[in-house]
Amino acid sequence: MVTRYTKDHEWIRLEGNVALIGISDHAQEQLGDIVFVELPDVGKKIAKGEEAAVVESVKAASEVFAPVGGEVVEVNQALSDSPAAVNEAAEGAGWILKLKPDNATDVEGLMDEEAYKAFLETI
């Protein structure tokens, strides 16, 4: 399973025909203590680049954009009770949603971990 990243600091990982999506460790560090995650509705169609969720911290609210377009098939309900899971494991248990991509090959155009680390050094 290869993790890919966007310039907006989302990560995506394909698991079969479903994409797991969340925010990067860098993003959660910048946001600080996360206090609320607004999850999308299961069944919602989201276009690539469209707002998929909102993560709120004590500092600010930040949109989570869909790295690929598709239909929401699952959301991480655990974040409703424990939004701090994003701080604890942003690229693991703190995932935000699962999407069935319209076009799974869109993932290939995103940055791999090495490219994302290089991108972080430029900002």
Amino acid, res. 2 = V
Residue 110 lies in a domain: no
> Residue 64: beta bridge partners?
53
Residue 80: strand, helix, or coil: helix
Residue 77 lies in a domain: yes
Range of the domain at 98: 3-105
**DSSP letter, residue 12:** E
From CA 53, how far away is CA 47, in angstroms rounded?
A: 13
Dihedral (C-alpha) 95, 101, 104, 110: value to the nearest 10 degrees? -50
| pLDDT tens digits, one per residue of 33-59 | 999 999 999 999 999 999 999 999 999
How far is it, in rounded angstroms, from Cα 28 to Cα 34?
8
CA 23 to mean position of chain CA atoms: 4
Mean pLDDT of 50-77: 97
Question: Does residue 115 lie within any of the structural domains?
Answer: no
Residues 10-31 pLDDT 10s: 999 999 999 999 999 999 999 9
Predicted confidence at residue 1, as pLDDT, reads: 77
Dihedral of alpha carbons 2, 19, 76, 34, sign: positive
**CA angle (46, 96, 47) in 5-degree steps:** 10
Give residue-wise pLDDT tens across range 83-119. 999 999 999 999 999 999 999 899 999 999 999 999 9
- Per-residue confidence (pLDDT) for residue 26, from 0 to 100: 97
pLDDT bracket for residue 121 (50, 70, 90): very high
CATH code of the domain containing 8? 2.40.50.100
Total domains in the chain come to 1
